[in-house]
């Protein structure tokens, strides 16, 4: 039976402000996409998440994004490619430092928010993020949307590409994510989320907003940690995946 990774965006607090329940989600997911201080997170938050992830055997991923704290990294920035390379390098290195202190390492890279969506089609920015990962550590896997410019360029550069699907996001007929500003972009019904994920893992199909059956192959399922009921959804999803023979394990092998 197919085994699949479960990942979640964590470490997205800042100072005294907290978002989501990182500790609870670290008891469920197998990979943690940790904010690196540009869209969210700060040194204390980053270190705490790395230590808790390392203690639980959860793979640590650098979730790199635009330098946009006010917008939570969800606003596109038309950056000079060289600056984007350096920003991504900075973020990976910062998180890797805290991961090393915790006795682990950054095990993969996943872009966040607007950057994630931009490099589905934006060739120049996709190339910049690929360059940053390759320069830092060409052995690092990269996580992204199947069919994206990001994964295509990463594969051409010799990076290991890991295909991601979203448990709690609506899809367009073309296999991309429905923008968050549109109604129904984020799913909240636990039973609906579990049913679509079981079909995705078992059959490689997800139903788009218009009812179209879209073929999607995925190695990892993302459950967002900042949505209401995220922990309960993640626990139910893991239990049902395990019951169906798809018990989650990290794609990094850690």
Q: Which residues are CB-contacts of 64 (< 8 A; sequence separation ≥ 6)?
A: 36, 38, 87, 88, 91, 92, 109, 110, 111, 112, 115, 129, 132
63: its two tokens: 């979730």
Q: Decide if 115 contacts 66 (C-beta within 8 A).
A: yes
Residue pLDDT, tens place only, 177-219: 999 889 899 999 999 999 999 999 999 999 999 999 999 999 9
- Closest listed residue to residue 68, CA positions, set 98, 96, 35, 46: 35
Mean pLDDT within 160-173? 95
SS3 112: coil
Distance between CA atoms of 193 and 166, rounded to whole angstroms?
A: 10
Q: Is the dihedral of CA 145, 41, 88, 162 positive or negative?
A: negative
Task: Provide the whole-model pTM.
Answer: 0.94
pLDDT given for residue 162 in this prediction = 97
d(CA 135, CA 203) in angstroms, rounded, equals: 37
Query: For residues 180 and 79, what is the distance between their CA atoms, to the nearest angstrom?
Result: 22
Chain centroid, CA 65 distance in Å:
11
Question: Which residue has 């109604």 as its token pair?
Answer: 183
Higher per-residue pLDDT: 230 or 52: 52
**Looking at the predicted structure, is the pLDDT value of residue 227 above 80?**
no
- Whole-angstrom distance between the N-terminal and C-terminal Cα of the chain? 20
Please tell me the predicted confidence (pLDDT) of residue 171. Answer: 94
């Amino acid at each position: 039976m197919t085994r699949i990774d479960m990942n979640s965006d964590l470490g997205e607090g800042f100072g005294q402000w907290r978002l989501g329940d990182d500790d609870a989600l670290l008891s469920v997911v197998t990979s943690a996409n940790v904010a690196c201080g540009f869209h969210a997170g700060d040194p204390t938050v980053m270190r705490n998440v790395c230590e808790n992830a390392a203690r639980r055997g959860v793979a640590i991923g650098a979730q790199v994004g635009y330098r946009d704290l006010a917008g939570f990294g969800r606003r596109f920035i038309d950056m000079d490619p060289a600056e984007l390379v350096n920003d991504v390098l900075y973020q990976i290195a910062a998180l890797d430092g805290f991961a090393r202190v915790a006795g682990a390492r950054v095990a993969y890279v996943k872009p966040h928010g607007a950057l994630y969506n931009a490099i589905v089609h934006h060739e120049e920015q996709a190339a910049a993020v690929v360059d940053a990962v390759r320069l830092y550590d060409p052995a690092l896997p990269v996580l992204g949307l199947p069919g994206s410019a990001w994964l295509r360029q990463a594969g051409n550069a010799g990076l290991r590409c890991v295909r991601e699907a979203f448990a709690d996001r609506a899809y367009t007929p073309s296999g991309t994510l429905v923008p968050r500003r549109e109604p129904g972009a984020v799913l909240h019904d636990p039973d609906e989320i579990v049913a679509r994920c079981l079909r995705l893992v078992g059959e490689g199909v997800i139903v788009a907003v218009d009812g179209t059956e879209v073929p999607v192959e995925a190695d990892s399922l993302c459950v967002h940690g900042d949505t209401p009921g995220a922990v309960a959804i993640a626990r139910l999803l893991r239990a049902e995946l395990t019951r169906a023979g798809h018990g989650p394990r990290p794609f990094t092998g850690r």
